[in-house]
Structure 1
Amino acid sequence: MVVIEQEPETEEIREAHANAPPADAPAHGEHESDEESFEDALTEEQLREKSLNQANDAKEEGNKLFRSGQYEDALLQYEIALQIASELPSSVDVCSMSHGNRAACFLKLNQYTDAVTECTKALELNPSYIKALVRRAEAHEKLENYEEAIADLKKVIELDPSNDQGRRWIRRLEPIAAEKREKMKEEMIGKLKEMGNSLLGRFGMNLDNFKAVKDPNTGSYSLSFQR
């Protein structure tokens, strides 16, 4: 009988045997890649949910600060909510409400132009956002933009026909808006007259030299020059 002498097993060989997978084990990476894909899918969904929760938490914190009169700090929390939510799908409500709430802060801080801007952003996301329309109307009134305020209030009535407060508000603003229109018209006529006198002055005349005469038959007017 011939005996084949085997070399002694080295440390490296023993480690290789010890770490070798069973014969029926799957190839390296097969299960790992499936598990990683599944985990990645879950993680992405969980991250979106976590981010949305963070946005809502920031918005709620802003609400608490607003109620306690800390408007500057509330603005910061609403901005954080917007920064988080703007990167997420299906976060329109959080974004529109955060813009609307920032508008409420700016109203309290007497920063009416900023309030109008924030309400407009909120309404671009949600055109039926009544609170944003009301806040923008309030800011417009403070800025003496009465026509714009009335337009917003009419939209409120359109969305909520039972809103009697909006109707009373419109009735209060309409004579103020009419008075402003008349005042602006008089100012414009005054400026035009001043400009006309400046031009006619070169010829030794002014607009007082011209008188509008109405034709009783046609109702039209003609200009009559008088020295």
Structure 2
Amino acid sequence: MVRIEMEEHQDEVPNPPNPSASAKTTTDSSSGPSTSNASKNPSDGYETASDGELGDSADECQENPDQHSEQGERIATISEDEIKEKALAEANNAKLAGNKLFGEGKYEEAISEYDRALNIAPDVPVAVELRSICNANRGACFLKLEKYDDTIKACSKAIELNPAYVKALSRRGEAHEKLEHFEEAINDMKKILELDSSNDQAKKTIRRLEPLAEQKREKMKEEMIGKLKDMGNSLLGRFGMSVDNFKAVKDPNTGSYSISFQR
């Protein structure tokens, strides 16, 4: 039988072990000769970690500041994403509430819900479509309330977010027509045809508005000429003349005009 004795000192740092005296072996009369290899096999006695093993274990237990920083950033990112998703869901619910109120003819209340959705919606790419729809729906409410300037503003915001938004273009064009902005209404219809060349409603609107736009241009031209005449008369009147004393004569060969004075 082999007995291994080890000394442990709690309060002192042990001296480096002496290989020749690392273990004491004794034998009984029945055990046979002593075995010097007993101290070399850890499984045969009390196992302790070597200095090298302790060093490796200590290194593994040390905290890595970079690792903790990455984990903190990951947690912060997850939390931020969750907040944005929740805000997007709430904004969508507000939009649906606005749609319901619009269907009931409660346009002012519907506008409030669309405004709430726009205020809640996070500034992320996936929310662009929702914001565009809410602005276009606000435009539809203002159109019903005959607030045409507000319709144009709301639909313009929707079109900025989504230039291919046909409904927003159509509503803005209708508001322009109500305000007799015939040129602007025609331009919106032309943009619709660029997006959808088969849109018959846009074609019909253009045919209907073009004569009105021409009439408005002529009317504006006459008003401008009238204002110029009034201004000229106020100046020429000091000299006993008026703009009627001047007549423009067109040269048939060159197409240019010459001004002649008549009393």
- TM-score higher than 0.5: yes
**1:87, CA displacement in angstroms?**
3.4
Structure-2 residue corresponding to 1:64: 100
Which residue, out of 142, 147, 155, partners 1:106?
142
Equivalent residue number for residue 228 of structure 2 = 192
Report whether the alignment pairs 1:167 with 2:195.
no
Shift of 1:27: 9.0
Percentage of identical aligned residues: 61
Change (3 A) 1:174 1:215: closer
Corresponding residue of 2:56: none
**Structure 1 letter corresponding to 2:128:** V
User: 1:76 and 2:112 equivalent?
Assistant: yes
- The aligned runs of 1:37-186 (5 Å cut-off) are 40-186=76-222
Q: Deviations over 1:130-154 (max 9, x none)?
A: 1110000001001111000000000
Aligned partner letter, 1:208: D
For the pair shown, the structure with the greater C-alpha radius of gyration is 2
Distance 1:202 1:80, change over 3 A: same
Letter in 2 for 1:148: E
Q: Report the counterpart of residue 211 of structure 1 in structure 2.
A: 247
Distance 2:139 2:148 in 1: 8
Q: Aligned partners of 2:87, 2:236: CA distance in 1, in Å?
A: 70
CA RMSD of aligned residues (A): 2.5
2:139 is aligned with what amino acid?
A: A
**Paired residues of 2:143 and 2:175 also in contact (CA < 8 A):** yes
Whole-Å separation in 2 of the counterparts to 1:47 and 1:216: 75
- The CA distance in 2 between the partners of 1:61 and 1:107, in whole Å, is 19
Deviation by residue 1:198-222 (Cα, 9 ceiling, x = unmatched): 1100000011112223344444322
C-alpha separation in 2, matches of 1:211 and 1:111: 46
**Amino acid corresponding to residue 185 of structure 2 in structure 1:** A
The answer to whether the Cα contact below 8 Å between 1:52 and 1:88 also exists between their aligned partners in 2 is: no
- Contact in 2 for aligned 1:86/1:95 (Cα 8 Å): no
Q: Which runs of 5+ in 2 are unaligned?
A: 1-60
Q: Do the aligned partners of residues 63 and 217 (structure 1) sit closer, same or farther apart at CA in structure 2, a change above 3 Å counting?
A: closer
Change (3 A) 1:213 1:37: closer
Distance 1:60 1:205, change over 3 A: same
Q: CA deviation at 1:173?
A: 0.3
> What's the secondary structure of 1:110's corresponding residue?
coil
Gaps of 5+ in 1: 1-25
Q: TM-score normalized by structure 2?
A: 0.71
Q: Does the CA contact (< 8 Å) of 2:149 and 2:175 recur in 1?
A: yes
TM (norm. structure 1) is 0.81
Deviations along 1:162-215, one digit per CA (max 9) or x if unpaired, are 101110010000000000000000010011011111110000001111222334
Deviation at 1:121, TM superposition (A): 0.6
Partner in structure 2 of residue 221 of structure 1: 257
Quickly say closer, same or farther: Cα 1:199–1:37, change in 2 above 3 A.
Answer: closer
2:126 aligned counterpart, secondary structure = coil
Work out the CA distance in 1 between the residues paired with 2:138 and 2:115: 8
CA distance in 2, matches of 1:133, 1:68: 24
Deviation, 1:37, is: 6.3
Count residues in correspondence. 203
